[in-house]
């Protein structure tokens, strides 16, 4: 039986913590920042935690690795 392959797009976008939470980069931060308010830009800094409902799908796509 062949090996399970990691979904490479998921590997680039998400990271699993030691407790099993999934961290991701906030959406809307790559460009066009001048039209966003300072408060909005400030709150988009750093990483966010994925909703627990979608965590299982991401972990499955990563084949159990954390990356």
Contact yes or no for 28/35 (Cβ under 8 A):
no
Per-residue DSSP letter, 51: -
Per-residue pLDDT reduced to its tens digit, 19-29: 999 999 999 99
What's the CA gap between 21 and 40, in Å, rounded? 24
User: Which domain does 45 fall in, by range?
Assistant: 8-61
Report the CATH number that the domain containing residue 39 is assigned in CATH. 4.10.410.60
Query: What was the pLDDT predicted at 45?
Result: 94
Q: How sure is the predictor about 55, in pLDDT bands with cuts at 50, 70 and 90? A: very high
Say how many domains are in the chain: 1
On whether residue 12 sits in a domain, the answer given is: yes
Buried b or exposed e, range 30-63, using 16+ CB within 10 angstroms:
eeeeeeeeeeeeeeeeeeeebeeeebeebbebbe
């Amino acid at each position: 039986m062949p090996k399970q392959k990691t979904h490479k797009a998921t590997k680039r976008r998400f990271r699993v913590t030691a407790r099993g939470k999934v961290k991701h980069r906030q959406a809307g931060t790559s460009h066009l920042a001048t039209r966003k308010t300072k408060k909005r830009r400030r709150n988009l800094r750093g990483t966010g935690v994925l909703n627990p409902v979608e965590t299982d799908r991401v972990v499955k796509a990563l084949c159990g690795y954390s990356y």
